[in-house]
Amino acid sequence: MQSKTLLFCITSMMLLSTPHIIKSENETNTMITKNESGKIKLFVYKGCPWCKKVIEFLKQIGRLDKIMIMDLAVATNMQELAKLNNGNTQAPYLSDEPKGVGMLESSDIIDYFKTRF
C-alpha cells in the first residue's frame, strides 16, 4: 500500500511541475524554428502565461522581429535549452549568447529587454 501511495504522490508532483503545451492561435504565427544568427533566443511553451507576457511586451515595443522565438514543442529546441540551462527546461528562458546572458523569469527578461532596446 505504501508503494502505491508513494507512486501516486510522485506522479502527482510530476504532473504539477511539468509544463503543459497548449496551442494558442495568437502565438502560433510567431513561432520560429530555423536558426537566425545574431538574434536573441527566447525559449517558450505555447500557452504558458509567463511566456505570453514576454511576447506581448515585445509586440508592444515593436521588437518581436529582433527575437528568435524557440517553440519548446520542437524536440531540437528543447534539447538546445537543456544544454544552455544545465538540463532545466523551464520557460521562458532568454539566451543572448553574444552578450553571455541567459536568464529565467518573465519579469527579469522584460527588464533586460527594457535596457537592451
Torsion over CA: 30, 31, 35, 41 (sign): positive
Domains and CATH numbers, the chain: 22-116 (3.40.30.10)
pLDDT tens across 39-83, in order? Answer: 899 999 999 999 999 999 999 999 998 899 999 999 999 999 999
DSSP 108: H
pLDDT-derived band at 5, boundaries 50, 70, 90:
very low
Give phi and psi for 56, each to the nearest 5. -65, -40
pLDDT tens-digit series, residues 12-49: 443 333 333 333 434 433 443 344 566 899 999 999 99
Q: What confidence tier does 98 reach under pLDDT thresholds 50, 70, 90?
A: confident
Q: What is the DSSP string of 4-63?
A: HHHHHHHHHHHHHHS------HHHHTT-B-S--TTSEEEEE-TT-HHHHHHHHHHHHTT-
Nearest to 32 by CA among 67, 63, 59: 67
